[in-house]
Structure formats: structure tokens, C-alpha cells
Amino acid sequence: MTATTIGDFDLARIDRAFIDNPFPTLRALREKHPVHRMADGSVLLTRHADCQKVYQSRAMLSDKRAEFGRKFGAGPLFTHHSTSLVFNDPPYHTVVRKLLAGAFTPRKLAEMEPLIEGIVERMLDELEDMGRFDLIAAFAMVLPTEIISFMLGIPESYRRKLRGYSLAILGALDPVVPPERLAAGHAAVTEFGAILADLIAHRRAHPEGAAQGEVLENLIFGEVDGRHLTEEELVQNCIFLLNAGHETTTSLVGNTIAMLLAHPDQLRLLQREPGLIATAVEESLRVESPLQIGNRLAGEALDLDDCVLPEGTYIHTSIAGANRDPAVFEAPETVDITRRPNRHLAFASGIHVCLGATLARIEGKLAVGRFVSRFPRLAADGPAELMGLARFRGYARLPVSIR
């Protein structure tokens, strides 16, 4: 998009070229229209400081019933997205978050590391024999699916269905959603919800002795100030957690390997110095954030440096734009796996800051770190294919060879 037309940019009219490479447009917006108003009255923020201010303000609301009502009508997608904690405000948000938080403490996550390491090593052994494969299907999506399924106690037989469900449900959050994608989203919530309702009923009937599924147990049996979750709240928050837990982490693994393949000097550096894996993962989170756009509704006027957003403004926070803001990141377009500090907003911030950030980092570091050191001859093996979503950035296919 040229500088003269950038003022006309509208998230409601984006095309595949923007989805595949939004960064030049976001840069032009940040330079010319950092607080960019669109035809429906909503604004897109591309500066790091502005996005951070939105996330830090308790008056910026996550409840999107009005917006989702217009977009989804009454139906499964509306029920799902308006019941999950991420699209709610206190006090309901606080109740669900507290019920979940016990399973994400540093001690609990440290206990899971041997499980994660075991899955990664087993997968690498299998890949060694294959030689050439689609990195997404054969590797990136396997670990996060196994881990979140373990935490929720989802039986093996259902696990292979998760990615299809989550792409259908999360895909419906894109700014532009064709009717067939909406229909697929509604169907996915219904099917997935029925499976979870069965599992929950089984768990209620047999509460004792399950080796897996601590998160589900906390949600079913836990209470906060005497408040239990209703059946609908349980099912919809489980769906959200399963989606949030594996979709973005699959993209983290895929995007990081794709980033390294596109920057062979950085790949070789990581292979020479495996200790750089932590900063390499942070750099991937910055330049290829798996979640690119957030939203809030201004519950009161918000004072940005050079303007005031009135109460009632619908706000899009461009995480992808903020993460390349030269006011915060030196040489923001350069991929540097040694970058430190790296104050990216890939996990947002404030009261909705990603609850799974530590887990995602552990999974990303182990999966990518072990993969690139086990396969020193790693190379691209044909054209990669992005998922084609504006909000969630990741690959549908990433063919690689390791010989």
C-alpha cells in the first residue's frame, strides 16, 4: 500500500497480500497514522506505547458481546466467544482466571518439563527416519496438542481433531469472515462442545484417580468465593483453553523455524551456540507474533500522547505493529536472535496477559532448540504456505528436509 493511500487502510477490506505480509503497511501506518480511524469508527493502534497503555488500563474492556452479536448473530460462536475468559471483564474473568492459575504455577510447569522433553525426543526419533516432511503436521502441532490435552485430560482418540476445530473457531475472529467460514466455526463449537460435555460428565461421575487433566479438575470442582462455573462456562472455557493452548504454540514453533530458514546466518549462529535458544524464541515472538491483533472497548476516554480516544471507541491493538516500533526496538526490521532486552507484546500485558506464556516458552525452546541441533542439515524443501488468517499468523504447511 502506498503512502498516499495508507489513509484509506481499513481492516474490514484487507486482502491476501496484506495477510501474507502486513509489515510494510503497519510501518506506514505507524509513521503516518499511528492512531488510525476506520470507516466503522474503530481505531487501529500501531505504536508500542499506545498498545501498552490500552492493555494496562482497567477501563479498557474485553467484553465483546455487542461486537460478536453483530458478527455472529445468536448461535454457537456467539455463546463460545462471549463466555470464554479472554473476552470478559472482572468479576467473571477473575473467577475463571483464578480457577486456572493453579495449574500454571512455575512449580507445576517445572514438573511438566520431563514430559515435554520425552515427547520432543520421541518425535525427533521418528522424524530422523522420514528425512523430508511437513514441519507443521509432523512436528510443530504435535507437542502443544499433546501437552494441552494432557492438562485437560483429553483422550488420544480426540486429539487429532483439535487443530481443525480450533482453526474453524479462531478463524471466525478475523476482521473479514466469509459465510462458509462462519458456518464451519458454528459447527466446530457444537461438535467440540458435545465431546467436552461428555468428558466433563464422565469426570464428575469418576472424580478420583485421574492421572491427567488437572486443569479440567480445577475448573469442574474448584470455586472462587463460593462461585462454581456453570456447565456452559465450563465447556466454553475448556474449548478456549484447548484452542489457546495449542494453536498459537504450533505457530510459535513453525514461525521460529521458518524465521531461521529465511535467515541462514541466524540458524547457523543458533546451531553453534545452542544457549541462544531463549533469545531466539523471543525474537520470533517479536517479528512473527502468532497473535497479531488484540481488541478492547474504551470504557472511558483514553488519553494517548497526541489525542484522546472517546469512551465507546472500539480499539484494535496491532501487536505486530507495536513489535516493530523503532521507539522501542533498535533496527526493528532486523532479525537478531541475540536481541536483549526484547519487550515485545506477543503475550499482551495487563490483566489478560497470556496465562500460558511460560508454558509456551518452555515448549518453544525445547522443540526448536532440540530440532535445530539434532538436524544440522535442516533446509527448506519447497514453498511454505501461510494459514491465511489476519489475526493468527502461522503456517499451514512448511516442507523441510533434514538430510
Nearest distance from residue 294's CB to ligand HEM, in Å?
4
**Under the criterion CB under 6 A, does residue 347 sit at the interface with ligand HEM?**
yes
Interface pick for ligand HEM out of 355, 362, 389, 398 (rule CB under 6 A): 355
For 385, phi then psi, to 5°, come to -130, 120
Cis peptide before 341 (omega within 30 of 0): yes
Interface pick for ligand HEM out of 360, 386, 387, 390 (rule CB under 6 A): 360
Q: Determine the Cα angle at 65 with ends 61 and 69, to 5°.
A: 145
x/- letters, 249..278, toward ligand HEM (CB under 6 A): x--x--------------------------
Nearest distance from residue 261's CB to ligand HEM, in Å?
19
**Under the criterion CB under 6 A, does residue 352 sit at the interface with ligand HEM?**
yes
Give the C-alpha distances (Å, rounded to integers) separating 13 from 7, 38, 334: 13, 10, 29
Spatial distance between the Cα atoms of 322 and 349, rounded to a whole number of angstroms: 13
Give whichever of 53 and 97 is closer to ligand HEM, judged by the CB atom: 97
Interface pick for ligand HEM out of 171, 185, 356, 369 (rule CB under 6 A): 356
List the interface residues with ligand HEM, window 160-189 (CB under 6 A).
none
How many residues touch ligand HEM under the rule CB under 6 A: the total is: 23
**Under the criterion CB under 6 A, does residue 248 sit at the interface with ligand HEM?**
yes
Residue range at the interface with ligand HEM (CB under 6 A); choices 24-32, 226-234, 245-253, 391-399 = 245-253
User: What DSSP string runs through 7-24?
Assistant: GG--GGG--HHHHH--HH
Inter-residue contact 151 to 217 (CB < 8 Å): no
Give whichever of 5 and 56 is closer to ligand HEM, judged by the CB atom: 56
Cis peptide before 91 (omega within 30 of 0): yes
The 3-state DSSP class for residue 293 equals strand
Partner residues linked to 297 by β-bridges = 61, 314
Interface pick for ligand HEM out of 76, 290, 321, 394 (rule CB under 6 A): 290
Interface pick for ligand HEM out of 294, 332, 369, 394 (rule CB under 6 A): 294
CB atoms within 10 A of CB 201: 12
Residue range at the interface with ligand HEM (CB under 6 A); choices 13-21, 320-328, 345-353, 377-385 = 345-353
Nearest distance from residue 205's CB to ligand HEM, in Å?
26
CB atoms within 10 A of CB 284: 27
* Long-range contacts, 225-228 (Cβ 8 Å, 24+): 225/95, 227/95
**Kind of pairing between the strands at 60-61 and 293-298:** antiparallel
Give whichever of 141 and 355 is closer to ligand HEM, judged by the CB atom: 355
Inter-residue contact 360 to 354 (CB < 8 Å): yes
Inter-residue contact 365 to 281 (CB < 8 Å): yes
Cβ density class 30-57: b for 16+ within 10 Å, e for less: beeebbbebeeebbbbbbbebbbbbbeb
For residue 380, what is the enclosing H or E element? strand 379-380
Instruction: Please tell me the total number of residues recorded for the chain in this structure.
Output: 403
**Under the criterion CB under 6 A, does residue 286 sit at the interface with ligand HEM?**
no
Give whichever of 185 and 364 is closer to ligand HEM, judged by the CB atom: 364
x/- letters, 77..106, toward ligand HEM (CB under 6 A): --------xx----------x---------
Nearest distance from residue 325's CB to ligand HEM, in Å?
16
Residue range at the interface with ligand HEM (CB under 6 A); choices 117-125, 152-160, 246-254, 322-330 = 246-254
Interface pick for ligand HEM out of 148, 239, 258, 362 (rule CB under 6 A): 148
Q: Catalog residues that contact ligand HEM under the rule CB under 6 A.
A: 62, 85-86, 97, 148, 241, 244-245, 248-249, 252, 290-291, 294, 346-348, 352, 354-356, 359-360
